[in-house]
Structure formats: structure tokens, C-alpha cells
Amino acid sequence: MTQNKTLIYKKVPTGLPVAGEHLVIEDRPIDIDSAPEGGVVLEMLYASFDPYLRGKMRDPSIKSYAPAFELNSPIVNGTLGKVIKSNNSDFAEGDLVTGFLPLAEYNRVDKDTIPKINMRKVHNPHNLDLGLFLGPLGMPGLTAWSGLHQIGKPQKGETIFISSAAGAVGQIVGQVAKREGLTVIGSVGDDAKLDFITKELGFDAGFNYKKESPADALP
């Protein structure tokens, strides 16, 4: 068995999770010498940390759109890893893959679990930073693209307002919208984020909603 550092959910937080109290790193030994029948062994290279995870750190009796995490179990989220052992013809050793997995150094994934965690190969012909496949080229990027093009459907020359504009989704929506000829306005929660969206991302305007109301900021 091999040492396997794993992020474990230990206690329901009442505010922000505290390292060492609500979330701890534990060794959960794992066999990485051979793959399960029809499955693979993965070494995790990148993990995504998203705001919705906090909503899953709750009493399981409280219903929501996503099930609560189980206490004393690993945090599960989007990851990018490398196949180090394979017993599956679709995945070769050395392949890079994404999927929703426990946040641990290593994971064993059996044949039946592969489709359940949406595991798929990463194709990277342009040698992009691998972390991008969990951000702009992952769930946040898909959310941004779908919201803009499948729901909002704005037209060139229109004005779009984006809340949480410095967040993983909002900043992508804003940049794509600018490229497509829209006027982009965003709201954020502090002045550093305001500088980020206007000076670095190229938003046309923005405001700190903790200092200004939309009515005052957008006369």
C-alpha cells in the first residue's frame, strides 16, 4: 500500500471552513501497483476549488440542489490527473484525464465508475497550461459559455451586466462578451477586484457593491 494524502471533510462549519478543524489532510493508503479490472489508477495533478463546495459542507438533512458531503469522507470535485496504471483499452498509461474524484494524491477508478465521474481524456495540442482544463476549458468555462450563448444570447452593441464579475464564471463571461462587441459592466465585492476587472480584464465599467448601489453606480 502507498501513502495517499487525502482532503477529508471532518466537521460541519458555521462560517468559513477552518483548516485542521473542518477540513483535514489524512493518509488513506491505496494500492497503486495494479489497476482494477477494466479500470485505472490515477495520480492527481490539479484540483479545482469552487464556491459551491461550501454549500455541500452542511447538515445532510438540509436539502439543496447538490447532496451534502459525508463526514469523514474525502472532498470530491473536478480534478485533472495522469493515468499511471491501466486495465482499460480506452486509457493508456501517461494519458491525462479530467473527472470528479476524491481530492487525493492517487485514486483507483473501476470500470463502472468511469462514466459516473465523467472521466475523459485531455487533448492538449497547443500545450496549454493544464490548470486551464479545470477553469476556462472546464466547468466554469462551460457555464460561462452556455449562460451567454444558450440563455442570454446578447447581440453585438448591447450592454451586459455581470454580477460576481471577478469570479471563475463571471470573468470568463466578461472577456468573451467584450470580444463579441458588447459593452461590459460588472459588480464585485472589493476595490482590488474592481481594478482587476477594469484594468486587467478590460471591462468597460464596474462598481464595488459594498460601497455603491446599482442605482448610484449606474445612473
Q: Is residue 56 part of a domain?
A: yes
Distance of CA 216 to the CA centre of its chain: 33
Kindly tell me if the per-residue pLDDT of 93 is higher than 90: yes
Do 62 and 106 fall within a single domain? Answer: yes
Each residue's pLDDT tens digit, 115-155: 999 999 999 999 999 999 999 999 999 999 999 999 999 99
Q: Is residue 133 part of a domain?
A: no
| pTM (2 d.p.) | 0.84
Do 29 and 73 fall within a single domain? Answer: yes
Kindly tell me if the per-residue pLDDT of 103 is higher than 90: yes
Do 119 and 151 fall within a single domain? Answer: no
Range with the poorest average pLDDT among 83-92, 187-196, 209-218? 209-218
Secondary structure in 3-state letters for the chain: CECCEEEEECCCCCCCCCECCCEEEEECCECCCCCCCCCEEEEEEEECCCCHHHHHCCCCCCCCCCCCCCCCEECEEEEEEEEEEECECCECCCCEEEEEEECECEEEECCCHHHHCCCEECCCCCCCCHHHHHCCCCHHHHHHHHHHHHHHCCCCCCEEEECCCCCCCHHHHHHHHHHCCCEEEEEECCHHHHHHHHHHCCCCEEEECCCCCHHHHCC
Q: Is residue 156 part of a domain?
A: yes
Can you give the pLDDT at residue 205? 94
Do 207 and 156 fall within a single domain? Answer: yes
Q: Is residue 171 part of a domain?
A: yes
Q: Is residue 166 part of a domain?
A: yes
Taking alpha carbons only, the member of 121, 120, 218, 113 closest to residue 162 is: 218
State which of 128, 151, 166 marks the end of a domain. Answer: 128
**Residue 195: which domain range?**
139-217
Range with the poorest average pLDDT among 1-5, 50-54, 203-207? 50-54
Do 99 and 160 fall within a single domain? Answer: no
Domain count across the chain: 2
Do 158 and 211 fall within a single domain? Answer: yes
Do 29 and 88 fall within a single domain? Answer: yes
State which of 72, 93, 128 marks the end of a domain. Answer: 128
Confidence of residue 217 (pLDDT cuts 50, 70, 90): confident
Kindly tell me if the per-residue pLDDT of 214 is higher than 90: no
Q: Is residue 134 part of a domain?
A: no
Q: Is residue 12 part of a domain?
A: yes
Can you give the pLDDT at residue 107? 98
Percent of the chain exceeding pLDDT 70 equals 100
